[in-house]
Structure 1
Amino acid sequence: MGTLLREWRDRRRISQLELALRADSSARHISFIETGRSRPSQEMVLRLADHLDVPVRERNALLIAAGYAPHYPERSVDDPSMNALRESLERLLTGYEPFPALVVDGTYQVLAANGGITALLEGVADHLLKPPLNAMRLTLHPEGLAPRIRNLREWRGHLLDQMDRQLALMRSSPLRALYDEVAAYPLPGTGGRETATAGDTPPFALPMMIEHGGRVLSFISTIATFNTPMDVTVSELAIETFLPADPETAAALGGFSRS
C-alpha cells in the first residue's frame, strides 16, 4: 500500500504535506503509511485515492494492497444490471446519426457504434472488422482507415499522444501493448494526397480529414465520460462523437442519411 501510494503521489507531484492537508490528515501519518509503519483505514485509503485522482480500477488495487476487499464492482456491459446503461447508450448513438459516434472501453474495444461509423468503414480489411473491434487498430492500421485519412501524420500523432496521456495516469498492460502495436504500424503511402497543413486546420481543434464517397469529409472529435462512476467498467467507458468541421461535411452527411 505504501509503495503504491508514494507512486501515485509522485505521479501527481504532490508532497506528503500537501496530500495530508487535502485529506485532513498529517504529513507524519502519510509518511507512516508510505513506509509501512501505519495501516490506513479503508476510509482513509479511499480519501487519499480521491485527492490523488486515482482511477477507479487502481483504487481497488490500493484497497487490496492495504488488506481490504475491492470497493468498486467490475461488471460486463452485457450484465443484466447494465441494461439501462446499454439502452441509454444505444439511444444516444442512434440519435446522433447521421454523424459518427461510438462507445469504447479502456483499451479502445468498440462496444457500440452507430450507422455513421459503419458508413466510414468501407474498404477496411475484413480481419480488422472481426470482433472484438478496436478503434485504434481500425483507424491506424495500414489496411484500416489510415490510407484514406488525408492528415494521417497529424491525426496519428494526436491519437498516440492521447494514449500516452492515459498511460501516464494508469497502469494498464493491455493499453501499453496496444500502444506499442499501433505506434509500430508503418505509415501507408499517401501518394502526395496528404494536404492538411496548419493553415488548413480550424483554430479550435484538429480535424480528422478522411476520403469517403469521392469527397473529403472533415470531423472534429469530442469524448465524453461518466461523472463519479461507481463501477470499474463504467469508469473506463468513453463516448466519442464526430462533429462536421465544415458545412460541406455536414451537407454530405445529410445526403448520405437520405440515400
Structure 2
Amino acid sequence: MTIKEIKESFMRVHEIQDPLFDLYKDDERKGVQIIIKQTKKRLAHQQELKDAFAKRFNIEREFWNQGLNQIAGIDEVGRGPLAGPVVAAAVILPHDFKLLEVNDSKQLTDKKRRELVNVIKEKAISYAYAVIDNHVIDDVNIYQATRIAMKQAVLSLTVQPQQLMIDAMDVDMDIPQLKLIKGDAKSNSIAAASILAKVTRDDLMIKYNQQYPEYDFCHNDGYGTKKHLEALKKYGATPIHRKTFAPVRDLTKN
C-alpha cells in the first residue's frame, strides 16, 4: 500500500488494539512511522476526552443509581457585565448522552459552543432558558436576578426534574438541590446548561450591538472593556445598561 492509502486506513482506526498497528509497526518508511505516531497521539487524546467526560457524569450517575433519572443541570451567564441581561439555562440529559466535547463553556471557542448547542438541544430530554433584563437586575440586585432566571428556566422545562444541580447557587424551589462550586467543570449537565446560556446571551448581545454599535457589545458582551468604557464616557448609558453597576452608576452621578 502507498503511504497515502495507509494514512487513509489509519484515519479509520478508533482503538489502540487495531491490527493495523502490528501490521505496519516494522515498516521502515519514515512516513508510515509518522502516521502510526500521529494515530496513537490522536487515540490518546480521544481517550483523555472519554475519561474526563465519564468523570463529569459521576455525580449524575450517583443520582441515576438512586432511581432519580431526571437530573437538571443549571447555570447562568452574565452576572458581571455592565450591560445586558443575565441568562440562565436548565438542561436534563439522558443516560446515553455522549457528546464528549461538552465542557465548561469558558473552555470552548465560540465556534465550538455553537456546534455543540444544537446537538445538546437535539439530544437533551428537556432544556429551557430564561432571560432577566437589566431593569430587574437594578431592582433586586444581580444575585437575586440570577436566582429568578434559574427558577424560571427550571419551571420552563417540559419535564419535571427530580434533582437540581446548580453552579454555585441555590434556587427558591422545593426540588432537592446540589450546589457545586465550579459545577460547569464537574458536571456534564451543568456544562451543557452553561453552553446553552452562553450562546443565548451572546446572540442577544450581538442584536444589541446593532442598536448600539458604539459600545462594541458583539465583542465585549457588555463587560467593561476599554472601548466600552470609553463609549460610556462619550455617549452615556444606553437603556440596557445596569444603572446600579459601577462605573455606570458613577457616570450617572456625574
Shorter-normalised TM range: under 0.3
The structure whose RCO (Cα within 8 Å, separation 6+) is larger is: 2
TM-score, structure 1 normalization: 0.24
Which has more helix, going by share of residues? 2
TM-score by length of 2: 0.24
